[in-house]
Amino acid sequence: MSATWRNWGGNVVAHPRVVTDTSTVEGVVGAVRSAAGRGLRLRVAGTGHSFTPLVATDGVLLRLDGLTGVLVVDRDRMRVCVAAGTPLHRLNPALQALGLALPNLGDIDRQTISGAISTGTHGTGVRLQGIAAAVCGLVLVLADGSLLRCSAEESPEVFEAARVGLGALGVVVEVELQCVAAFRLHARESGESFSAVLEGIHDLADAHDHVDMHWFPHTDRVLLKRNDRVAPGEGPGPLPGWRRRLDDDLLANRLYEGVNRVLTRAPAATARVNRLSARVLGAREYTDDSWRVFCSSREVRFVESEYAVPRASVVPVLEELRAWFERSGEPVPFPVEVRFVGADDVWLSTAYERDNAYVAVHQYHRMDPSRLFAAFEAIVAEHEGRPHWGKVHTLGAERLQALYPRFDDYRAVRDRLDPTRLFTNAHVAHLLDA
Ligand SMILES: Cc1cc2nc3c(=O)[nH]c(=O)nc-3n(C[C@H](O)[C@H](O)[C@H](O)COP(=O)(O)OP(=O)(O)OC[C@H]3O[C@@H](n4cnc5c(N)ncnc54)[C@H](O)[C@@H]3O)c2cc1C
């Protein structure tokens, strides 16, 4: 009997024939050889925080939950090698203990490092890049069970393809990361008028290290988060424990879950409730270690679609989205998130050679997201939108080839490394095979 696997959002369910857990590289090699020998396909699962069916398989599902930890530290170059299954919530404090940090992070820390880079996970900051841009070396187990080490100097083409690799080139077992010295962030969060913020959005993005906006649909309210690096001792203190628990645990999670459940039955109240939500998540200001500011706990389940658009398109995209909400009245309790990330050189990164704004729409998991996602996708299609690989979208190989200048180079590496397509599934084939 096959097992059942579900992603975090609950929108992807799979029934793998075999689930293999391993905590060693030899175990990975064994699982790959065994799958190939039995004619089964193999997909690696991180913590299942992707909303796209990247992990789904009816063959072998390989879990690396035990393949964790910091393996090597190069203090002079501020680099670390970590085992691929290491979750960010364990990596961040381990780096802190070494006086190091990742330069930028997304808004949660539950993902594995290999899962995060494989889909191009990013945070926000016009002068910063996504997590994969901090990768300076990888070790992969290939389809024939051999090990390959790659970096800008060693097998550079594989390195460029595998930093955001979609799990389609091999199993990543080790990740080398370029860190920075541990730093603190001064966080300022406030409720603002969305229209006023839109008017000055580019100045705002340039003026702060990290800008993150949560606009509540059907309202003119936005929760604006501005985080700036400060020297030790500068800025106000950290949030008291009770305030963090009140904001994150009670308001953002427990109460919010209740609100969403009510709106599922009474969607007509969405606009009124959104105005209230925007007010409740009020102003706060504090300073803390970077990773404690970047990441918070997200317990209320939702599904999400996120697209990167050229930075210059952010206002038109948001205006068009606002007009669609007004026209359709679609009940969407979750805020639309807006972030900014600078260009990088990672072949399948959404920020490949392009300064981007990221616009993300979310829907509560018990509500139907299809109209929202379809309307959003139609809007960003007019702005060369590149979908986040881990968030719901419908684009296939033909469109993706037009959006990614190095798409065919990536596919050539894949043809070489995995000619028999051991590491594929229906979704990966839709993305990559013309
Ligand atoms: C609540 C929430 C908040 C989020 N916030 C952000 C955010 O702020 N910014 C952002 O960009 N994204 C965000 N995401 C998306 C998330 O970061 C990505 O989907 C990420 O890929 C999830 O990592 P994971 O460990 O769960 O990997 P999974 O979703 O389990 O897997 C993702 C991909 O990685 C592959 N993979 C995993 N490990 C390996 C390996 N060792 N070797 C080869 N392939 C591997 C899998 O096969 C799959 O293709 C969020 C998601 C959720 C649910």
Per-residue pLDDT of 34-90, as tens digits, reads: 999 999 999 999 999 999 999 999 999 999 999 999 999 999 999 999 999 999 999
Nearest CA owner, ligand 1 atom 8: 106
Architecture per CATH, domain 184-387, reads as: 3-Layer(aba) Sandwich (3.40)
In the predicted structure, residue 366 carries a pLDDT above the cut 80: yes
Looking at residue 316, what is its pLDDT? 98
Measure CA 300 to chain center: 17
Say what the pLDDT of residue 325 is: 97
pLDDT, average across residues 393-415:
98
Give me the residue label for tokens 């680099």: 79
* Ligand 1 center from residue 414 Cα (angstroms): 20
What DSSP element (H or E) covers 326?
A: helix 314-328
The residue whose CA has the least distance to atom 20 of ligand 1 is: 116
What pLDDT was estimated at residue 188? 97
pLDDT band with cut points at 50, 70 and 90 for residue 1: low
240 DSSP 8-state letter: P
CATH architecture assigned to 5-63: 2-Layer Sandwich (3.30)
172 lines ligand 1 (CB under 6 A): yes
CATH class given for the domain over 72-181: alpha beta
How many angstroms does the Cα of residue 46 sit away from the middle of ligand 1? 7
67 CA → ligand 1 middle, Å: 16
- Compute the average pLDDT of residues 254-279: 86
**Which pLDDT belongs to residue 324?**
98
**Nearest-atom index, ligand 1, CA of 113:** 25
Exposed (0-12), middle (13-18) or buried (19+): which is 153, by Cβ within 10 Å? Answer: exposed
Percent of the chain with pLDDT over 90: 88
102 Cα to the center of ligand 1, angstroms: 17
338-364 tens-digit pLDDT: 999 999 999 999 999 999 999 999 999
Phi, psi of 106 (to 5 degrees): -80, -165
CB distance 119 to 390 below 8 Å = yes
Query: Cβ neighbours of residue 381 under 8 Å, at least 6 residues apart?
Result: none
Q: Does 253 have pLDDT greater than 80?
A: no
Mean pLDDT score, 291-299: 93
- pLDDT tens readout for residues 170-197: 999 999 999 999 999 999 999 999 999 9
- Going by C-alpha positions, the residue among 274, 246, 291, 230 that lies closest to residue 92 is 291
Long-range contacts of 254-263 (CB under 8 A, 24+ apart): 254/299, 256/300, 257/299, 257/300, 259/333, 260/300, 260/333, 260/364, 260/366, 260/367, 261/366, 263/331, 263/333, 263/364, 263/367
What confidence tens digit (pLDDT) does each residue in 210-234 have?
999 999 999 999 999 999 999 998 9
Contact 300/367 with Cβ under 8 angstroms? Answer: no
Residue 244: is its pLDDT beyond 90?
A: no
The domain limits of the chain are: 5-63, 72-181, 184-387
- Measure the CA–CA gap between 123 and 388, rounded to whole angstroms: 12
What integer pLDDT is reported at residue 274 of this predicted model? 87
User: Averaged over 386-406, what is the pLDDT?
Assistant: 98
Determine the residue type at 188: R
